[in-house]
Structure 1
Amino acid sequence: MSLTYKNILVAVDESNESKLAFKRAIQVALNNFNSKLYVVHVIDTRSFAFYESYNLNMVDRAYDIATELLNSHIAMAKEAGLENVEMIIEFGAPRQIIARDIPKAKQIHLIICGVTGKGGVERILMGSVSESIVHMAKCDVLVVRNL
């Protein structure tokens, strides 16, 4: 059994916790020689259901924002010395995509994500994404806290 992580997935958004998780992912990837870092952003399509005027312009705009976000992360990773970095943008339920779909497709060995605080009611009804990833993933998970 290998003790190195060859395929590392880091989930990013615009939160402070996500920024810390990304910095940690860079460190882990640099410490695991020849690893590949996958930087993922999942556009939660459930949020579109709340808009009566949902249209393809919203989808295009969300994709453009995600692309800009991930391009900046890729640039930071390369500046830190990582060459093997790939971005992934997906639409759907973040829990399922981050914990199950991408790890299966890309043979992920480690998932890194930030812990985020949600409102009381939403957290009671849905739980946090990071908590779901910990329970659903079939690989190691590192949840980064903003202490």
Structure 2
Amino acid sequence: MLEKKRQILVAVDGSPQAQRAFVKGVQIARQSQGQLHLLAVLDIWNRDYQYDFHHDQNRDDFTTQLVQRTEKQLQQLQADAHDLGLADCAYHIRFGNPRTVIAHDFVQDHQIDLILVGATGKGAVTRMLIGSTANYITRAAPCDVLVVHSAL
């Protein structure tokens, strides 16, 4: 058991890999009596990302709908964490580049000492062209990083 209370960050994006990181994060937070932070980083400027962007909608409507859907998903994860026995779970939505927000900005703002991320779900060609967020975080974050590969 970890002796000190930890600030634990789980980066979530709706992927199966992030779901596995979430479950592992809940387990670690319960064991260490730490606080779990669920973070979704919305990169709305990258139109090639996984969002359903319709060109006939204006950007404000798109952003509002995206934030509402993301908040609903985070609230569900927070409820799931509570059901799994973790009372101290907060969720956050940030805008920007997921790599820098997770590895630098959020870590500093919340004194995070452990980040959990799911292993990449991208194919080899995509990883080669744009890189892996998980790979960047493991190299750049000032704290411990756990990349979750295992299936539930």
Contact 2:5 2:32 in 1 (8 A): yes
Partner of 2:39: 40
Unaligned regions of 5+ residues in structure 1, if any?
none
Q: How far, CA to CA, are the matches of 2:132 and 2:5 in structure 1?
A: 25
Amino acid at match of 1:11: A
Evaluate the alpha carbon distance shift between residue 49 and residue 27 of structure 1 in structure 2; reply closer, same or farther with a 3 A threshold.
Answer: closer
CA contact (8 A) 1:16 1:146 kept: no
| Map of 1:102 onto structure 2 | 106
Q: Which amino acid aligns with 1:16?
A: P
- Backbone CA RMSD of aligned residues: 1.9
Measured after TM superposition, the shift of residue 83 of structure 1 is 1.3
SS at match of 1:47: coil
Instruction: Name the CA shift for 1:126/1:84 in 2 (closer, same or farther; >3 Å).
Output: same
Secondary structure of 1:103's aligned partner: helix
User: Which residue of the partner structure matches residue 148 of structure 2?
Assistant: 144
- What runs of 5+ residues in structure 2 fail to find an aligned partner? none
State the alpha-carbon separation in 1 of the partners of residues 92 and 143 from structure 2.
Answer: 19
User: Which residue does 1:18 correspond to in 2?
Assistant: 18
Deviation at 1:10, TM superposition (A): 0.3
Task: Determine the structure 1 residue equivalent to 2:116.
Answer: 112
TM-score normalised per structure 2: 0.87
- Asked whether the equivalents of residues 119 and 147 of structure 2 are also in contact (C-alpha less than 8 Å), the reply is yes
Distance in 2, matches of 1:143 and 1:49, equals: 24
Equivalenced residues, count: 145
Look up the match of 2:97: 93
Which structure: greater helix fraction? 1
Shift of 1:119: 3.2
